[in-house]
Amino acid sequence: MKSKKHPETSLEAYHSQTPEKLRFDYQRIIKGLQILGTATAEQLADYLNCFENSTISRRMKEMEERQLIFKTGEKRLTKRGRNAFVYYLTNKQPKTDLEAQEQEKAQNSIKVPPTPLKAKETSYLSQLDMFL
């Protein structure tokens, strides 16, 4: 696959982010994908009540480049009727009953507020530490 050159302004914006802010964004994406199972950037931004869909989209692209998330091969329509890639979390941990209930609620379009990270979720965060 051909490597895409990032515009200078995009690189400046990325480098202006603190490691703490990037880590926070990555944690939110991980938690959202653990609950939803699969999602487009738009669906994840809606679920996380994120003001900037582009922020979530950019972080997801970075996570894909680091092989923390992958595209399923499926596409879903956005609110504007365009195709969007569907992503899933790599190295998924087995779901607890609570996580299965949260996923079912999320898939039925019921907003579930994100919960604090659990101990087993730190394995994803240790992967992130290699990149921050």
Q: Which domain holds residue 107?
A: 18-129
The full DSSP string for the chain is -PPPPPPHHHHHHHHTS-HHHHHHHHHHHHHHHHHHSEE-HHHHHHHTT-S-HHHHHHHHHHHHHTTSEEEEEEEEE-TTS-EEEEEEESSPPPPPHHHHHHHHHHHTT---PPPPPPGGGHHHHHHHHTT-
| pLDDT of 15 higher than 60 | yes
Question: pLDDT category, 110, cuts 50, 70, 90?
Answer: very low
How many domains are contained in the chain?
1
Is the pLDDT at 82 greater than 90, yes or no?
yes
Most confident of 23-27, 37-41, 88-92: 37-41
Mean pLDDT of 47-56: 83
Look at residue 20 in the predicted model and tell me its pLDDT. 87
Whether 92 is covered by a domain: the verdict is yes
Biggest CA–CA distance in the chain, Å, is 46
What mean pLDDT do residues 53-74 have? 90
Task: Give the domain CATH number at 44.
Answer: 1.10.10
Q: Is residue 87 part of a domain?
A: yes
Mean pLDDT of the chain, nearest integer: 77
Task: Give the model confidence (pLDDT) of 16-35 as tens digits.
Answer: 788 888 888 899 999 999 99
